[in-house]
């Protein structure tokens, strides 16, 4: 949005400025097609945020529902659901997202599906653990003995107590989803040209590293600062909301 | 008892991993054969591939066939080069292993001493500097750190090869790229875990006995503090293995990760499938071993089990 304010649009091409170093016209220089790097960074972060927020919301919804069910019912349902999450956890890091994105094909929608498929697991585990301990709280037992329905118990009596811990988890996962999105785009599996994406910009930057080292440096520094800022926000939120740090 | 329980859950996870990787190819939108061969392929080629992959049979019998072939070490063959995939994996896997182990060593050698140093200087400026630097490094993804290192040490200074794996020094840059991130995490973990231990009663007792500060730290505190680090190292092996995909691509390191990316670009899905399977299985095995080592390293866990 900042970009629109300055009248910058990431796809404008200035043929005289191909791979230009930072100057008055292009504050952070221009890329291999003569597009303004600052404008593309701002455009890229918008897309990245939209993707990250959507993915976080969807995977949180799926994960929380599974976690609530597993934690509330326990027994067979719990064992089955946790077995499924264990299988998803057996794939290291973003490998599964890479695999899904690879077979689904590149593009923003497929990227988001791939990230959601792997994103829900941590929420499911977190919610399950919390639900198991909350289930035995007196107010839940009281509501249950007064005949409250299961959805009412879950959403009215248990979920509100989980909200702060979920907000903190969501903040951290925002950062990791943005890294995952950038990684996939870096590998050419994510957001496609002409849309701006930091991952794809980094890949171009590496390609033109010998002639225009400022390109890769600037994009990388921006990404690092953003991730750092989100993680610090997460730390602050954790302290403010008084959520105990746990595994 | 612990081992039996562990192994049975291990078996379930392996089964799930096999099922999920098997299903991957069925997630391809449209006809996988069409996607893999492209529109120009002849009818005969398509039919051969279709028969080869057995895509017409019911899912269950396809899965059964997949498992049966796997048990014989048959991962199918590449669509484009027709080479058996198992041979591709055999030539590429050692390179990835070499890279992962080198980065692990770098991570341990930098991370643990720095963490100890930060814990001993807790709340002094030295601790502050170490923590600040490690937070920065852990926010630095491989696809940025890699190019930067390449730019400085290979292009500007010319000390090390840019990429490839021809000379012995080729491994240095990719291993540092992966190892630095790991060392940042290990530094923070070692610091926290050592600080926790330093407040324990047995450390006070050791000090009260009149032992030298060095003996207290090395013999008593470190031994207790290193236990949680075993678990962290095991868990981090996962991101290390996944990280090799990107690092290998940047540095043209011919390992499994690069094979995976190449197979995705060529839409050689059987190879993609096999790479994902091999990396996931390695990770599951590493985790199993970490669990077992942890059991035997910590007397408390052993007794309570």
Q: Does B28 contact A104 at a Cβ distance shorter than 8 Å?
A: yes
A156, A144 contact by CB (below 8 A): no
**CB-nearest partner of A95 from B13, B19, B276:** B276
Domain residue limits, chain A = 54-241
Among A45-49, A59-63, B33-37, top mean pLDDT goes to A59-63
Partner-chain contact B27 A104, CB within 8 Å: yes
Please name the member of B20, B139, B283 whose beta carbon is closest to the beta carbon of A228: B139
| Cis peptide leading into residue B16 (ω within 30°) | no
Which chain A residues contact residue B193 at CB under 8 A?
Answer: none
| Number of CB pairs, chain A paired with chain B, less than 8 A apart | 130
Of A91, A102, A228, which is closest to B264 when you measure between CB atoms? A102
Contact A93 B239 (CB under 8 A): yes
A211-230: average pLDDT: 79
Per-residue tokens: A48: 């990245």
CB contact under 8 A, B239 and A224: no
Q: How far apart are CA A96 and CA A117, in angstroms?
A: 8
Residue A5 has pLDDT above 50, yes or no: no
Is residue B146 predicted with pLDDT exceeding 70?
yes
Which residues, including other chains, have CB under 8 Å from residue A74's CB and lie 6 or more apart? Answer: A132
Mean pLDDT lowest for which of A29-38, A91-100, A178-187, B122-131? A29-38
Q: Measure the CA–CA gap between A92 and B210, rounded to whole angstroms.
A: 47
Given a cut of 60, is residue A45 above it in pLDDT? yes
Between CA B16 and CA B18 the distance in angstroms is 5
H/E element holding B115? helix B85-120
Average pLDDT, chain B: 79
pLDDT at A141 over 60: yes
Please tell me whether the overall predicted TM-score, pTM, comes out greater than 0.95 for this model: no
pLDDT averaged over chain A?
77
Chain A: residues touching B (Cβ < 8 Å): 83-84, 86-88, 90-96, 98-100, 102-105, 179, 182-183, 186-189, 199, 202-203, 205-206, 209-210, 213, 216-217, 219-220, 223-224, 227-228, 231
Question: Rounded to an integer, what is the distance from CA A117 to the centroid of its chain?
Answer: 12
**Distance in angstroms (rounded) separating the CA atoms of residues A234 and A56:** 14
CATH of the domain spanning A54-241: 1.10.3720.10
Q: Which residues of A131-143 are buried (b: 16+ CB within 10 A; e: fewer)?
A: beebbeeeebeeb
Q: Rounded to the nearest 5°, which phi and psi values hold at B84?
A: -60, 135
Nearest residue in chain B measured CA to CA from A176: B139
Quick check: A96 and A105 in contact, CB under 8 A?
Answer: no
Residue A205 is encoded by which pair of tokens? 């930057």
Residue spans per domain, chain B: 14-71, 89-304
CB atoms B143 and A93 under 8 Å:
no
pLDDT in tens, B173-225: 888 888 888 888 888 888 888 888 777 777 778 777 877 777 777 777 777 77
Show the tokens assigned to B265.
């670009």
More confident residue, A213 or B285: B285
Tokens of A82: 């946790």
Q: In this predicted structure, what is the pLDDT of residue A58?
A: 92
* Nearest neighbour of B16 by CB, restricted to A87, A220, A223: A87
Distance from CA of A143 to the nearest CA of B (A): 36
Q: Is the pLDDT of residue A247 over 60?
A: no
**According to the model, what pLDDT value does residue A246 have?**
41
Q: Output the CATH code of domain B89-304.
A: 1.10.3720.10
Is A224 within 8 Å of B24 when comparing Cβ atoms? Answer: no
Q: Which residues contact B243 (CB under 8 A, 6 or more apart)?
A: A93, B142, B178, B181
A51: left (phi over 0), alpha (psi -120 to 50) or beta: alpha
């Amino acid at each position: 949005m900042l970009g629109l304010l300055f009248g910058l649009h990431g796809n404008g091409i200035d043929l005289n400025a191909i791979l230009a170093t930072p100057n008055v016209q292009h504050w952070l220089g221009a890329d291999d097609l003569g597009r303004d790097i600052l404008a593309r960074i701002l455009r890229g972060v918008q897309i990245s945020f939209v993707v990250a927020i959507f993915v976080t919301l969807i995977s949180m919804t799926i994960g929380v529902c599974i976690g609530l069910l597993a934690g509330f019912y326990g027994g067979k349902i719990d064992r089955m659901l946790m077995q499924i999450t264990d299988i998803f956890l057996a794939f290291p890091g973003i490998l599964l997202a890479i695999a899904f994105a690879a077979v689904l094909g590149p593009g923003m929608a497929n990227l988001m599906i791939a990230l959601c498929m792997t994103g829900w697991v941590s929420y499911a585990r977190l919610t399950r653990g919390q639900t198991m301990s909350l289930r035995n709280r007196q107010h839940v037992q009281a509501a249950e003995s007064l005949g409250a329905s299961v959805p009412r118990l879950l959403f009215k009596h248990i979920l509100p107590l989980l909200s702060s811990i979920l907000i903190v988890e969501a903040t951290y996962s925002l950062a990791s989803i943005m890294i995952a999105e950038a990684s996939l785009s870096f590998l050419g599996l994510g957001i496609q040209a002409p849309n701006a994406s930091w991952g794809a910009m980094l890949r171009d930057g590496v390609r033109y590293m010998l002639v225009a080292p400022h390109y890769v440096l600037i994009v990388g520094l921006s990404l690092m600062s953003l991730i750092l800022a989100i993680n610090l926000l997460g730390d602050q939120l954790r302290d403010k909301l008084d959520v105990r740090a746990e595994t | 008892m612990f081992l039996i329980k562990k192994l049975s859950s291990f078996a379930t996870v392996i089964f799930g991993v096999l099922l999920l990787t098997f299903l991957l190819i069925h997630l391809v939108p449209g006809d996988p054969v069409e996607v893999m061969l492209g529109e120009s392929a002849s009818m005969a080629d398509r039919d051969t591939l279709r028969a080869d992959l057995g895509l017409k049979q019911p899912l269950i019998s396809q899965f059964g066939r997949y498992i049966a072939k796997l048990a014989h070490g048959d991962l199918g063959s590449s669509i484009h080069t027709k080479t058996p995939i198992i041979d591709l994996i055999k030539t590429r896997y050692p390179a990835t292993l070499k890279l992962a182990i080198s980065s692990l060593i770098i991570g341990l050698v930098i991370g643990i001493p720095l963490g100890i140093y930060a814990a001993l200087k807790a709340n002094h400026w030295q601790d502050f500097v170490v923590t600040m630097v490690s937070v920065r490094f852990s926010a630095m993804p491989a696809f940025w750190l890699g190019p930067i290192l390449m730019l400085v040490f290979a292009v500007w200074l010319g000390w090390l090869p840019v990429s490839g794996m021809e000379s012995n020094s080729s491994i240095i840059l990719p291993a540092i790229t992966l190892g630095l991130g790991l060392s940042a995490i290990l530094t923070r973990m070692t610091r926290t875990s050592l600080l926790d231990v330093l407040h324990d009663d047995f450390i006070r007792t050791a000090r009260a006995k009149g032992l030298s500060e060095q003996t207290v730290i090395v013999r008593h505190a470190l031994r207790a503090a290193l236990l949680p680090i075993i678990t962290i190292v095991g868990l981090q092996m996962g991101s290390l293995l996944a990280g090799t995909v990107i690092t290998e691509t940047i540095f043209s390191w011919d390992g499994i990760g690069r094979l995976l990316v190449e197979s995705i670009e060529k839409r050689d899905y059987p190879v993609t499938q096999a790479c994902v399977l091999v990396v996931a299985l390695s990770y599951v095995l590493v985790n199993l071993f970490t669990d077992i080592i942890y059991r035997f390293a910590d007397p408390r866990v052993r007794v309570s089990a």
